[in-house]
């Protein structure tokens, strides 16, 4: 099939996703299974300290290294598209200074304020974990700058490599340090601190490799010309902050809500009459078992946004609106194609999936399974929110995602305050409020985006076709699962063949129902061969 301009945009998008998706999948699988032995080593109580420190780190990480890499990649992509090599160097230099300053400030804040922060969360014993993860902010800031630089050049391999190293380092160092601390007979809060230090060590490994790649890139580009005007440092900083602040504020609102959850859920449950140990166990089961699986799908889809943002920014800066529309619609279709079957699967198979992953944690699974079933309803909105927000940023409507996230945060917090102490609801108020929050944000952003763009970018078919295929796939998996149970074949590993059958039926029906567009398949690496095979066996029309 001949490649048009719009097809080239798709190839760039799907090529970037193809590089990042395996790394992200590896990272999330490591992160998910990393907690299985960690819970056994640290214990549920120790994991509450781990989670409290991690949420503080996550909030400051968003402030220092989330919106800024996105803004940096957009600025570099626009400068590269315009052939302004001098501007690229100046932008990166300004950005790196800003990133490191913010990262260092966050590290100092955590080191100095660990006891006070832990006390604020009603978990004084979490102070050691906060100190252990503090240096990670400085390392993450450097990594964010390096990723933004390479993504702006539409080079996704360094980002993928750094994610793999972070995950592998977290797994190896985290479990190793935790086992060492437990073997020495150290108290639970210290064992938790040793465990979370694995995150810091993994980031240090990734930062070292990215530093080497940056030096190699600088040597390679030494002989390149110095075209284009050189922007002032103040102007470059102002443009970086203009793009970054809305992204950062949007993300930090939700991170702040997550941090407030840490204190609010336990506190409101205790106010309802639960003992502190029981309230912390409920929160730990929710936060350590249900939430990671819920977050897995939107996190796995993050490569789509990472690949889309510089591509969309470059297309709009060159006045290629059609190329931007094609890339955005393809990204939204791909997100729906992945998130819809995942949401149905998590909702129906919550308990057996948790039993497969967290075998032996029966009490925690009993608490987490119904919570995960409710959280599954939030998977699709969460997956689409990231893309709609990014598209609004690229079209210049930078304030709307901030307002949408703020509205969603208010809805979530109000519902939690109301529902958590309520008889018969209690901890279920947490996933219910998350669903209400995500729907609020998505509705606001979708309406704003439809008004901002003069063309359609998403249709009802893009949702209905994968939903129909997923419904039949999950139904087939459920029939197999309950059939095997009825035959007396119940075991922990029963979900593996069930998930395989569910995925296979969904994939076949998605192709037959047209949920996967042929032009999207052609845009994949080796897309011609893939389409040729599918057409030969009449799997697509």
Q: Which domain holds residue 469?
A: 462-541
Q: Around Cβ 524, how many Cβ atoms within 10 Å? A: 17
Are 440 and 533 in the same domain?
no
Judgement on whether residues 495 and 480 belong to the same structural domain of the protein: yes
* Mean pLDDT, rounded, of the chain: 81
Residue 263: pLDDT band (50, 70, 90) is low
Same domain, 234 and 328: yes
Are 378 and 485 within one domain? no
CA–CA gap between residue 299 and residue 292 (Å, rounded): 10
Residues 27, 170: one domain?
yes
447 and 468 together in one domain: no
Do 440 and 473 belong to one domain?
no
What is the rounded distance in angstroms from the CA atom of residue 18 to the CA atom of residue 146?
Answer: 20
Question: Among residues of the chain, what percentage have pLDDT more than 70?
Answer: 80
Write the DSSP assignment of 171-184 as a string of letters: HHHHHHHHHHHHHT
* pLDDT, tens only, 8-51: 655 666 666 677 778 777 887 787 677 778 888 888 788 888 88
Same domain, 207 and 241: yes
Query: What confidence tier does 2 reach under pLDDT thresholds 50, 70, 90?
Result: very low
pLDDT of residue 388: 85
Does the structure show a pLDDT above 90 at 495? no
- Most confident range, picked from 272-276, 309-313, 390-394, 503-507: 503-507
Shared domain for 328 and 237, answered yes or no, is yes
What is the sign, positive or negative, of the torsion defined by CA atoms of 129, 357, 22, 178? positive
Residue 38: how many other CB atoms lie within 10 Å: 25
Listed residues 406, 439, 458: the one ending a domain = 458
Instruction: Check: pTM over 0.75? Answer yes or no.
Output: no
Percent of the chain that is helix, strand, coil (3-state, to 5) = 85, 0, 15
Instruction: Dump pLDDT digits (tens) for 65-80.
Output: 566 787 787 778 777 7
How confident is the model at residue 500, as a pLDDT?
92
Same domain (yes/no): 423, 525: no
CA 114 to the chain's CA centroid: 26
126 plus 268 within the same structural domain: yes
pLDDT of residue 306: 65
523 and 436 within one domain: no
Q: Please tell me the least confidently modeled range out of 94-108, 476-490, 513-527.
A: 513-527
Count of domains observed in the chain: 2
Q: Final residue of a domain: which of 441, 458, 475?
A: 458
**Tokens of residue 5, six digits:** 């301009």
Show which of 412, 434, 458 is a domain's final residue. Answer: 458
């Amino acid at each position: 099939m001949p490649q048009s301009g719009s097809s080239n945009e798709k190839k760039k998008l799907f090529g970037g996703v193809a590089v990042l998706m395996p790394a992200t999948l590896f990272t999330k699988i490591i992160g998910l299974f990393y907690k299985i032995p960690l819970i056994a080593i640290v214990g549920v109580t120790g994991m509450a300290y781990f989670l409290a420190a991690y949420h503080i780190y996550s909030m400051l990480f968003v402030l220092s290294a989330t919106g800024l890499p996105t803004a940096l990649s957009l600025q570099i992509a626009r400068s590269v598209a315009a052939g302004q090599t001098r501007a690229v160097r100046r932008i990166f230099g300004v950005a790196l200074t800003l990133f490191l300053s913010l990262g260092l400030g966050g590290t100092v804040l955590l080191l100095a304020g660990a006891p006070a922060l832990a006390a604020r969360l009603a978990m004084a014993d979490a102070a050691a974990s906060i100190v252990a993860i503090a240096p990670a902010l400085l390392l993450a800031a450097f990594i964010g700058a390096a990723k933004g630089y390479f993504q702006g050049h539409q080079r996704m391999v360094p980002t993928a490599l750094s994610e793999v190293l972070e995950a592998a380092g977290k797994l190896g160092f985290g479990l190793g340090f935790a086992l060492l601390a437990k073997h020495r007979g150290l108290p639970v809060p210290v064992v938790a601190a040793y465990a979370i230090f694995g995150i810091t060590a993994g980031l240090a490994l990734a930062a070292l490799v990215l530093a080497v790649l940056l030096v190699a890139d600088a040597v390679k580009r030494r002989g390149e010309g110095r075209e284009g005007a050189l922007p002032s440092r103040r102007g470059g900083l102002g443009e970086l902050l203009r793009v970054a602040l809305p992204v950062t504020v949007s993300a930090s609102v939700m991170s702040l809500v997550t941090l407030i959850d840490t204190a609010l859920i336990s506190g409101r449950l205790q106010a309802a009459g639960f003992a502190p140990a029981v309230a912390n166990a409920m929160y730990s089961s929710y936060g350590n078992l249900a939430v990671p699986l819920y977050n897995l799908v939107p996190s796995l889809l993050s490569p789509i946004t990472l690949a889309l943002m510089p591509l969309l920014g470059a297309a709009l800066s060159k006045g290629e609106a059609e190329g931007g529309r094609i890339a955005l619609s393809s990204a939204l279709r791909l997100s729906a194609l992945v998130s819809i079957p995942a949401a149905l699967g998590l909702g129906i198979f919550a308990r057996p999936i948790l039993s497969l992953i967290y075998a032996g944690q029966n009490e925690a699974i009993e608490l987490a399974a119904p919570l995960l079933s409710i959280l599954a309803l939030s998977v699709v909105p969460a997956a689409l929110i990231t893309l709609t927000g990014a598209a609004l940023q690229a079209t210049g409507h930078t304030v709307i995602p901030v307002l949408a996230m703020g509205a969603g945060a208010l809805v979530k917090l109000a519902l939690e305050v109301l529902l958590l102490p309520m008889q018969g609801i209690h901890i279920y108020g947490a996933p219910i409020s998350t669903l209400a929050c995500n729907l609020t944000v998505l509705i606001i952003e979708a309406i704003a985006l439809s008004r901002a763009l003069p063309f359609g970018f998403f249709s009802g078919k893009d949702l209905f076709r994968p939903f129909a295929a997923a419904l039949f796939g999950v139904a087939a998996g459920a029939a197999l699962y309950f059939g095997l149970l009825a035959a007396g074949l119940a075991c922990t590993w029963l979900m593996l063949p069930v998930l395989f059958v569910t995925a296979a039926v969904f994939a076949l029906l998605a192709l037959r129902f047209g949920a996967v567009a042929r032009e999207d398949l052609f845009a994949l690496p080796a897309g011609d061969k893939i389409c040729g095979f599918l057409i030969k066996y009449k799997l697509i029309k």
